[in-house]
């Protein structure tokens, strides 16, 4: 297997809405390059990239696949990504390491929501991008409408390089305005005939040709002078200008294809190997310390681990990109995070689920390695004496959560192990063994994401599970000061138990004055692990309770605060003063005072106008204007508080605060309400009082559970 020099490598991620034809395009590229002898199809379930059983069941990509081909002496690494928003965490690491993006648009449906989301990610990373309008052979293809949408959504930097001469089922011809040539394809696709542009298309082709020249020239002062001098630019001058403009994100070239008919794919690959930036042409990576790491094949080696998967009969396979130098099997490298040394095992190039051993990978290339001990995705490995660390991939916060439990008793440990493995493979899956709620909670990017987790647990790990609605982590507090007493007296033969405690309990707030008519001998201000504070005061006078029993009283109070009287949820922001009591010289002990403290606190709490608090989330929603009214109306039914609205073109951005109790499956509902075109993100804001009717409902549910 060839080892490619950095200048001969191209990395590109295929991006686009689900169903736009990314996997079919990848399959056709492999076929057209001679990498495979026969093209598979989605419906037949035999494409190179969609090889997982769940992908064959769903007839779409769920996981990222890594492919490669040779096109005229250049190695093109293709990363085929899923287009459903629920699988965005599969796309982000691929996009970050690819360095280039190829967006696939459906000529019938135009720019769809999945593409818009991914486009924004690419722009935030300043990644050079090209656009391919696919399916121009569709009966309802509308190429010009798709171009207009692309320019409206992505900007005037979208420039047409090709357009179809005729659309629909009879499509077989493409006019290229960079080369000013017409490509006519045979019935089965493949290599086209190069023909002159017909007179009927000459005016349109020249107009688009001039638009392309102007777009190139306006981004390069030298080319602009040349353009003014000659009135045009030659093909090689245009290519050089395109390279520079693409690298700087100033031009997004647009092509057209029918991937299914194998028409136009070769020209796209030709553009990739001649114009799309090679890794050595990319802007240097910025390290954690702010310094830059240029792509230098002569420097010491550094790789970034960006994805790991588990494969039967192989074990853990770790994908990496070489950012400096080169790597080969047996090379010792240091983990910048742990400082541990790891030796690289067998190196592979992957073609879907097939692997080919390779002796080394040069700077800029993407590969995989097995048996890499104590290493995880998002870590940098480097040679000794070359201390560099690349920044980690930032995954989006979850927007949906569910409680999960095993159906079969005894599978608890097996389920925990399986979920931890799935989290390693997909860090956007959050797993929380929530002690407060006494539930195992998983959080992800949408209902379909969680459904895939369930599928993997059932089919890969053989753990049958069910998902159900998680509890809400309410908080409890009080609204007025009260006094309470409790006497614990128990005689069981021999030594008994005796403790009497008087408590003054009141709401705590910053700057609260000391209790009136009480002398504070000692105070503790405790930062509670679950948020809020407890201030505990020793106001005992005359030694009616020994100091040695104070920790036991505090322990009793804390135990009840962890399982509040209203909802068994945690209590916050209270002050407890022990101001009187009594003890027995023989029967008093720590256990007795712990019980007395707990019961006195419970009694006081219930008399102090207790208040239930609920978690509130900041919700940012991006929604097309057409659906604005529906989204706002829905927010009002969820007790949402609108904080502000801003327009960004045709997209409205809403900021709101919504209780967590109203957000169950909101991601799914928002997609349904907006035809999948709205997106949202969540961030915890704080706690607020719940309405009285909801408090009573929660208290009743808690009582019912205790009695059950």
What is the predicted pLDDT for the residue at 230? 73
User: 359: Cβ–Cβ under 8 A, 6 or more apart, which residues?
Assistant: 1, 3, 328, 329, 347
Q: What is the pLDDT of residue 311?
A: 76
CA 146 → CA 103, 132, 255, 269, distances in Å?
13, 10, 12, 22
Torsion of CA 659, 602, 550, 531, to 10 degrees: 0
Of the candidates 516, 514, 534, the one whose C-alpha atom is nearest the C-alpha of residue 524 is: 534
What is the distance between the alpha carbons of residues 385 and 332, in angstroms, rounded to a whole number?
12
Task: Return the pLDDT at 707.
Answer: 58
B/e letters for 219-256, b = 16+ CB within 10 Å, e = fewer, are bbeebbebbeeeeebeeebbbbbbbbbbbebbbbbbbb
- Tell me the pLDDT tens digit for each residue of 390-406: 999 999 889 899 999 99
Quick check: helix, strand or coil at residue 400? Answer: strand
Residues of the chain with pLDDT under 70: 1, 223, 225-229, 492-494, 704-708
Q: How many CB atoms lie under 10 A from the CB of residue 217?
A: 22
Q: Which domains are seen in the chain, by residue range?
A: 6-215+250-281 (3.40.50.300), 285-382 (2.40.30.10), 400-471 (3.30.70.870), 476-609 (3.30.230.10), 612-694 (3.30.70.240)
User: What pTM, to 2 d.p., does this model score?
Assistant: 0.87
**Predicted local confidence at residue 708, as pLDDT:** 52
Predicted pLDDT at 679: 83
pLDDT value of position 494: 66
Compute CA distances 433 → 419, 437, 441, 460, 683, whole Å: 11, 9, 6, 22, 20
Predicted local distance difference test score (pLDDT) of residue 648:
75
b or e along 596-624 (b: 16 or more beta carbons within 10 Å of the residue's beta carbon)? bbbbbbbbbbeebebbbbbbbbebebbbb
The separation between CA 532 and the C-alpha centre of its own chain, rounded to angstroms, equals 30
Dist. CA 11–CA 129, nearest whole Å: 12
Order across the sheet with 341-343: list the strands: 341-343, 332-335, 379-382, 302-311, 315-324, 366-370, 347-351, 354-357
Confidence at residue 213, expressed as pLDDT on a 0 to 100 scale: 86
Q: What are the b/e assignments for 460-478, b being 16+ CB within 10 Å? A: bbebebebeebbbbbbbbb
Greatest C-alpha distance within the chain? 113
Whole-number pLDDT of residue 378: 92
């Amino acid at each position: 297997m060839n080892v490619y020099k950095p200048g001969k490598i191209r990395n590109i991620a295929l991006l686009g809405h689900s169903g736009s034809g990314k996997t079919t395009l990848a399959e056709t590229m492999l076929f057209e390059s001679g990498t495979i002898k026969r093209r598979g199809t989605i419906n037949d379930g035999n494409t190179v990239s969609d090889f997982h059983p769940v992908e064959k069941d769903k007839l779409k990509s769920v996981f990222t696949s890594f492919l490669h081909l040779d096109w005229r002496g250049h190695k093109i690494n293709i990363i085929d990504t899923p287009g459903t928003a629920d699988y965005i965490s599969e796309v982000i690491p691929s996009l970050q390491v690819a360095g280039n993006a190829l967006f696939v648009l459906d000529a019938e449906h135009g720019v769809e929501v999945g593409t818009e989301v991914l486009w924004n990610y690419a722009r935030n990373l300043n990644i050079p991008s090209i656009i391919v309008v696919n399916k121009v052979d569709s009966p309802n293809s509308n190429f010009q409408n798709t171009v207009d949408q692309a320019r409206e959504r992505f900007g005037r930097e979208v420039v047409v390089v090709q357009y179809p001469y005729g659309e629909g089922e009879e499509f077989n011809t493409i006019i290229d305005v960079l080369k000013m040539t017409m490509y006519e394809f045979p019935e089965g696709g493949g290599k086209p005939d190069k023909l002159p542009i017909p007179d009927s298309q000459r005016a349109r082709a020249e107009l688009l040709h001039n638009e392309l020249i102007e777009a190139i020239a306006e981004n390069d002062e030298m080319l602009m002078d040349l353009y003014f001098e000659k009135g045009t630019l030659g093909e090689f001058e245009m290519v050089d200008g395109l390279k520079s403009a693409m690298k700087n994100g100033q031009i997004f070239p647009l092509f057209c294809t029918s991937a299914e008919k194998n028409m136009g794919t070769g020209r796209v690959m030709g553009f990739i190997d001649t114009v799309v930036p090679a890794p050595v042409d990319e802007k240097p990576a910025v390290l954690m310390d702010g310094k830059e790491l240029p792509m230098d094949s002569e420097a010491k080696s550094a790789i970034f681990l960006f994805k790991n998967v588990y494969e039967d009969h192989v074990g853990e396979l770790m994908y990496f990109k070489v950012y400096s130098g080169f790597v080969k099997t047996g090379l010792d490298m240091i983990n910048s995070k742990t400082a541990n040394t790891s030796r690289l095992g067998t190196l592979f190039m992957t073609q879907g689920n097939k692997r080919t051993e390779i002796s080394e990978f040069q700077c800029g290339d993407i590969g995989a390695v097995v048996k890499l001990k104590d290493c995880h995705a998002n870590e940098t490995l480097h040679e000794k004496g070359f201390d560099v660390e690349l920044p980690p991939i930032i995954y989006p916060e979850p927007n949906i959560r569910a409680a999960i439990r095993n159906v079969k008793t005894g599978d608890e440990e097996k389920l925990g192990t399986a979920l931890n493995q799935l989290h390693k493979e997909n860090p956007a899956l959050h797993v929380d063994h929530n002690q407060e709620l006494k539930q195992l909670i998983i959080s992800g990017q949408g209902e379909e994401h969680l459904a895939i987790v369930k599928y993997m647990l059932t089919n890969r790990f053989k753990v049958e599970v069910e998902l159900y609605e998680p509890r809400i982590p309410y908080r409890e507090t009080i609204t007025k000061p009260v006094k309470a007493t409790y006497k614990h007296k128990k005689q069981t033969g021999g030594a008994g138990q005796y403790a009497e405690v008087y408590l003054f309990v009141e709401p705590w707030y910053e700057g609260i004055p000391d209790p009136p008519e009480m002398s504070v001998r000692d105070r503790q201000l405790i930062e509670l692990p679950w948020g809020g504070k407890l201030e505990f005061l020793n106001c005992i006078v005359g030694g009616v309770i020994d100091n040695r029993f104070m920790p036991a009283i505090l322990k009793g109070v804390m135990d009840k605060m962890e399982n509040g009287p209203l909802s068994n949820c945690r209590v916050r922001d209270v002050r407890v003063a022990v101001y009187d009591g009594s003890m027995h010289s023989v029967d008093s002990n720590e256990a007795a005072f712990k019980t007395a403290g707990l019961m006195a606190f419970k009694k006081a709490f219930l008399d102090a106008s207790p208040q239930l608090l609920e978690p509130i989330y900041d919700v940012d929603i991006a929604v097309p204007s057409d659906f604005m009214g529906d989204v706002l109306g829905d927010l009002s039914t969820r007790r949402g508080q609108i904080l502000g609205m801003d327009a960004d073109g045709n997209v409205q951005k809403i900021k709101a605060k919504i209780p967590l109790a109203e957000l169950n499956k909101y991601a799914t509902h928002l997609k349904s309400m907006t035809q999948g075109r709205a997106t949202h993100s969540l961030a915890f804001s704080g706690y607020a009082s719940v309405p009285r009717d909801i408090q009573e409902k929660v208290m009743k549910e808690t009582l019912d559970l205790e009695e059950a």
